[in-house]
Amino acid sequence: MFISLKKFFALILFLIFVGNSSFAQKNYKLEIKASEKNEQYILNKIKYTKTFVTKSEIKKALDIFILKLQNESYILASIDSLNEQENKTIAYISLNEKYNWERLGKGNLNPLLFSELGFDEKYFIGADFNYQYLIDIEESIITYYENHGHPFASISLDSININQSSVSAVIHCEEGPLIRIDSIAMIGFADIHPHYIQQLIHIKAGDLYNESNIKKIKDQLASIPFAREKSPYYISFHNEKATINLNLEKRRNNVFDGIVGLQPKSTIDNKMMLTGNLKLKLYNSFKRGELINIDWQSPGGGSQNIKIELAYPYLLNTPIGVDYKFKLFKQDTSFINLTNSPGIRFIINGSNYLKVSSDFFSSTMLNTEIINGIPSNTEHLDMKSVMGNLEINLKHFDYNFNPRKGWYINFLAGYGTKNIIKQHDIDNSFYDSIPLNSQQLKLKSHLEFFIPLFKRQTLRIWSLSEILKGDYLVRNELYRIGGFSDFRGFNEQSIYASTYSILTLEWRLLLERNSYLNVFWNKAYVEDRSGSSTTYDQPMGFGAGFSFETKAGIFALSYALGQQLGNPIEFSQAKIHFGYMARF
């Protein structure tokens, strides 16, 4: 069927007209005027919305406007009349009298309570009547009683007298029964000691009812790494006692994690070598919320790295926890480092704490060749150090294993002494230019942020920085970075530094709760001040990977390239890591 060009354009114009008629939004306007013209300046001081999509919104706007006038002491303000036109409504407002307080008495309230809440009877004598301020007073009194054992307290005004343009009243309070916490009932998952829960939520049997602590229970329970709420908690009351009912279920947060890496042995040839990393993290094995964390790593070249962490919270039912960290690093046949770190945690909640700790560090040379009383490798020396540390640890993720939003903050500062130990078969003259006893300072910053992008994407910003300062640093006490866990694109623990700062930007497409695709870029500033020389570099790495969950566990693959010391990027030096994680 054919139509003429003239009819075609006529049809288009018709459709445009119909479309505009159907979809154009009609705007309704509101104008507020004073019934008495000399009062218009008062109304002009109050802001209000003047344009609306639907006519029903105008009534809500007028109700809000009247409430604002009442808060300005015009408690009898009202709408005189409405002039409703097709797209416009004109409202005429009558202010009536402006009221003030003649007196607001404290009634049967304790005088000390009234002043403790910051209120003074003298303030109300002759003051403008402010309805919102009166509500604030009532809410403050109710909140006080709710937090001091009276959850059923009520407030009312008594002896109300309105005389011409003044108001007087007296506060009357019904405290209600005094309520104490009887018990915390565990429903469902019960493999948690009651004392752990009591310390976590800061509530124990015999305490006075405290509404502010009750409201925090949900957030406190969310911080438990090994359990979560199956259904919301609830409070039951009986015979002036309250029972807190918690319905928890086990969270699969115990982890066995394994990573196998392929990396070139050196930049000279393309021969590959295997690296490995095994982690075992166990929570609440003894029902006290304790942590056992074992981390073994083989960065290649005959080196070994073992870390063990033990943490026990709420020691003797106090908000104090203890922990212990052990580290062993063996660099092929060159040296072996041992670190013992006992610590005391002052628990804020869950994984958040302040910590005081000590590091007892020792480094011993292995198979050192000595020629004419001088060691062949002068970069490594036997040494010991003792350092005291102060640390803060804060974490808040929406989901620990694969967050979409949240943050992690850790800061540590340490200060102590270092002693270089003379070897009996090395000539004393070798140590003449080396300070055997010195002071050391170390600083650490670890930051991580997840910023949501659209519905299923997130941007991970990760930063790790450490500084070690001292009179004479030796190579075997330096930090070691590089590899899958901190600086991707480089061989495991291949970069030595006395100071470094790493920044990682990572985009993730969240496929499922534990599955994602990612693209990352990381860059570092590296400084090595060991011995008598100083070197600097700004290496950079980038790559991509994925992680996907199956019934057997979570599998991951990562491919990364790196560039350092001004050398070009070489695909033959790519680093590939395969990972597997099982949660139980």
- pLDDT score, position 372: 66
14 occurs within a structural domain: no
13 occurs within a structural domain: no
539 occurs within a structural domain: yes
Element (H, E) at 131: helix 131-146
- pLDDT score, position 119: 79
- Please check whether residues 324 and 211 belong to one and the same domain: no
Token match 């970075």: residue? 481
- Please check whether residues 447 and 551 belong to one and the same domain: yes
- pLDDT score, position 37: 85
Q: Stretch 103-113: mean pLDDT, rounded? A: 84
Burial of 126 (0-12, 13-18, 19+ CB in 10 A): exposed
Where is the domain boundary, 196, 222, 250? 250
- pLDDT score, position 15: 42
Q: Stretch 265-269: mean pLDDT, rounded? A: 61
- Sheet of 154-163: strands edge to edge? 100-105, 166-174, 154-163
Q: Stretch 478-500: mean pLDDT, rounded? A: 94
Provide the domain count of the chain.
Answer: 4
Where is the domain boundary, 250, 272, 292? 250
Q: Stretch 361-365: mean pLDDT, rounded? A: 94
- Please check whether residues 190 and 264 belong to one and the same domain: no
Strand residue runs (E) in 433-552: 437-453, 457-470, 479-481, 495-497, 499-512, 515-528, 535-537, 540-550
15 occurs within a structural domain: no
- Please check whether residues 245 and 363 belong to one and the same domain: no
358 occurs within a structural domain: yes
Q: Stretch 340-364: mean pLDDT, rounded? A: 95
- pLDDT score, position 538: 97
Task: Map residue 23 onto helix, strand or coil.
Answer: helix
Listed range (126-135, 250-259, 334-343, 572-581) with the worst mean pLDDT: 126-135
Q: Do 320 and 348 meet the contact criterion of CB atoms below 8 Å apart? A: no
CB burial string 201-215: b at 16+ within 10 A, e below: bebeeeeebbbebbe
- Please check whether residues 299 and 392 belong to one and the same domain: yes
Q: Stretch 517-523: mean pLDDT, rounded? A: 97
- Non-local (6+) Cβ contacts of 505 within 8 A are 459, 460, 461, 520, 521, 522
- Please check whether residues 71 and 124 belong to one and the same domain: no
Domain span including residue 235 = 180-250
Q: Which pLDDT band holds residue 136 (cuts at 50, 70, 90)?
A: confident
509 occurs within a structural domain: yes
Q: Which pLDDT band holds residue 19 (cuts at 50, 70, 90)?
A: very low
- Please check whether residues 502 and 564 belong to one and the same domain: yes
Report which of residues 243 and 84 the model is more confident about: 243
Q: What is the CATH number of the domain that holds 261?
A: 2.40.160.50
- Crossing angle of helices 56-71 and 131-146, in 10° steps, is 80
Q: Is the pLDDT of residue 29 over 50?
A: yes
- pLDDT score, position 266: 63
Q: Which pLDDT band holds residue 356 (cuts at 50, 70, 90)?
A: very high
- pLDDT score, position 86: 83
- How far from 472 is each of 114, 133, 179, 434, 442, CA to CA, in Å? 64, 65, 64, 7, 14
Q: Is the pLDDT of residue 18 over 70?
A: no
Q: Stretch 243-263: mean pLDDT, rounded? A: 91
- pLDDT score, position 128: 87
Backbone phi, psi, residue 65, to 5°:
-65, -45
Q: Stretch 452-457: mean pLDDT, rounded? A: 92
What are 39's two structure tokens? 């009062």
Q: What is the pLDDT of residues 401-417, one digit of tens each?
A: 899 999 999 999 999 99
546 occurs within a structural domain: yes
- Please check whether residues 88 and 115 belong to one and the same domain: no
- Please check whether residues 200 and 271 belong to one and the same domain: no
Q: What is the pLDDT of residues 159-211, one digit of tens each?
A: 888 888 888 899 999 999 999 999 999 988 878 999 999 999 999 999 999 99
- Please check whether residues 186 and 170 belong to one and the same domain: no
- Non-local (6+) Cβ contacts of 481 within 8 A are 487, 490, 493, 495, 497, 500, 502, 524, 526
- pLDDT score, position 566: 87
Listed range (148-157, 363-372, 395-404) with the worst mean pLDDT: 363-372
Where is the domain boundary, 145, 174, 203? 174
2 occurs within a structural domain: no
- pLDDT score, position 26: 58
- Non-local (6+) Cβ contacts of 116 within 8 A are 144
- Please check whether residues 286 and 216 belong to one and the same domain: no
Q: Stretch 272-295: mean pLDDT, rounded? A: 92
DSSP 35-104: SSGGGHHHHHTS----EESSTHHHHHHHHHHHHHHHHTT-TT-EEEEEEE-SSEEEEEEE--PPPEEEEE
Q: Stretch 217-228: mean pLDDT, rounded? A: 91
Backbone phi, psi, residue 64, to 5°:
-65, -40
Q: Is the pLDDT of residue 522 over 70?
A: yes
Q: Stretch 306-335: mean pLDDT, rounded? A: 95
- pLDDT score, position 72: 87
The mean pLDDT of the chain is: 89
Q: Of the ranges 50-59, 123-132, 450-459, which is most confident?
A: 450-459
Q: What is the CATH number of the domain that holds 191?
A: 3.10.20.310
- pLDDT score, position 423: 85
Number of helices (H), then strands (E), in the chain: 9, 31
Q: Which pLDDT band holds residue 497 (cuts at 50, 70, 90)?
A: very high
Q: Is the pLDDT of residue 88 over 70?
A: yes
- Please check whether residues 340 and 434 belong to one and the same domain: yes
Q: What is the pLDDT of residues 39-86, one digit of tens each?
A: 899 899 889 999 998 888 999 999 999 988 988 888 888 999 999 888
